[in-house]
């Protein structure tokens, strides 16, 4: 499938920003891109909090997606908590089969589907399944967004270990500088040590910036690297070489 899963090393690490920026990069290259958030929590009564940021970054509006819109955010819950708890509090079970159907439908309708995770990879759904289990079942390659800060080494290496243990393809790691107060010595070393220990592709680093235009300018080379990694991974598995050549 023509799908990328954007996983975070934690909640609040920049998954939404990276998903939207990658969407914008692909749109700028003339691709038909859709984004997804399987489970949004802390959503008030309305769907699509993170989706709204994806759309804004891509320069799109909800109307551009027509009847695909409900598939983009299949579940949303009021309480800002792990999906298993937020769903239980509203007595609205999460059906993994519904999520899988939504991915398959969207990936047929668009050139590329970008899925933003909820929290980190080992977040539980209400049936005891973890988010990462669905990613594995759908065989989706994963881009890891790491919050670049003190603590990033442990969080990132654990996320990579969890993906590797399940045989999930890893496109690489994006380091996101979400705070401007961190010690630069730590930030520089994080990339080196995590690259060396994880043996994964370091896609690059996003600076701290509140201005979306500036962030996008810095993101463009990262976007190119992510797509080139996707081609490599797809080429290796041999299943969608033609699709990727034609559509990416
Ligand atoms: N590079 C950056 N520079 C400055 N602010 C950033 C940067 N990246 C993210 N942020 C800000 O940090 C906050 C968290 O980012 P974001 O919402 O993308 O995280 P997330 O991983 O999607 O969180 P969640 O788990 O809630 O989905 C947001 O307010 C966002 O605007
Ligand atoms: Mg988010």
Distance 90 CA to ligand 2 centre (A): 21
Domain total of the chain = 1
Please name which of 20, 37, 117 lies closest in space to residue 71, comparing C-alpha atoms: 37
Nearest CA to ligand 1 atom 13: 12
How sure is the predictor about 238, in pLDDT bands with cuts at 50, 70 and 90? low
Residue nearest atom 16 in ligand 1 by C-alpha distance: 14
Query: What domain range includes position 216?
Result: 3-35+99-247
Residue 223 lies in a domain: yes
pLDDT of residue 127: 80
Give pLDDT tens digits for 54-95: 999 999 999 999 999 999 999 999 999 999 999 999 999 999
Could you tell me if residue 182 is inside a domain? yes
pLDDT in tens, 170-222: 999 999 999 888 899 999 999 999 999 999 999 999 999 999 999 999 999 99
Provide the token pair at 225: 């690297």
Q: At 135, which CATH number?
A: 3.40.50.300
> In which band, very low, low, confident or very high, does the pLDDT at 237 lie, cut at 50, 70 and 90?
confident
Is 59 within a domain? no
Report the alpha-carbon distance of residue 220 to residue 240 in Å, rounded: 24
Token pair recorded at residue 65: 């997606």
Radius of gyration of the chain (CA): 17
Closest CA to 236 of 171, 181, 159, 184: 171
In a domain, 88, yes or no: no
pTM: 0.95
- Among residues 147, 138, 203, 195, the alpha carbon closest in space to that of 5 is found at 138
94 in any annotated domain:
no
Phi-psi region of 143 (alpha: psi -120 to 50; beta: other; left: phi over 0): beta
Q: Which residues pair with 77 in a beta bridge?
A: 41
pLDDT at residue 245, rounded to an integer:
46
**pLDDT tens readout for residues 34-55:** 999 999 999 775 667 899 999 9
């Amino acid at each position: 499938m023509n799908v990328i899963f954007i996983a975070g090393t934690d909640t609040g690490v920049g998954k939404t920003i990276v998903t939207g920026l990658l969407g914008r990069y692909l749109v700028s290259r003339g691709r038909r891109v859709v984004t997804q958030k399987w489970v949004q929590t802390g959503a008030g009564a309305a769907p699509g909090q993170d989706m709204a940021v994806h759309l804004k970054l891509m320069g799109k509006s909800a109307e551009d997606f027509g009847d695909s819109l409900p598939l983009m955010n299949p579940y949303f819950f009021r309480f800002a908590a792990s999906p298993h708890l937020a769903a239980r509090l509203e007595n609205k079970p999460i059906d993994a089969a519904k999520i899988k159907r939504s991915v398959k439908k969207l990936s047929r309708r668009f050139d590329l589907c970008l899925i933003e995770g909820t929290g980190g990879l080992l977040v539980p759904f209400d049936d005891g399944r973890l988010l990462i289990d669905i990613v594995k079942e759908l065989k989706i390659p994963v881009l890891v967004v790491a919050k670049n800060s003190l603590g990033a080494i442990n969080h990132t290496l654990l996320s990579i270990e969890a993906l590797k243990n399940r045989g999930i393809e890893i496109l690489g790691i994006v380091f996101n500088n979400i705070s401007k107060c961190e010690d630069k010595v730590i930030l520089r070393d994080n990339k080196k040590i995590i690259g060396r220990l994880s043996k994964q592709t370091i896609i690059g680093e996003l600076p701290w910036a509140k201005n979306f235009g500036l962030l996008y300018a810095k993101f463009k080379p990262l976007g190119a690297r992510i797509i080139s990694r996707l081609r490599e991974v797809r080429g290796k598995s041999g299943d969608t070489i033609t699709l990727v050549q034609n559509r990416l």
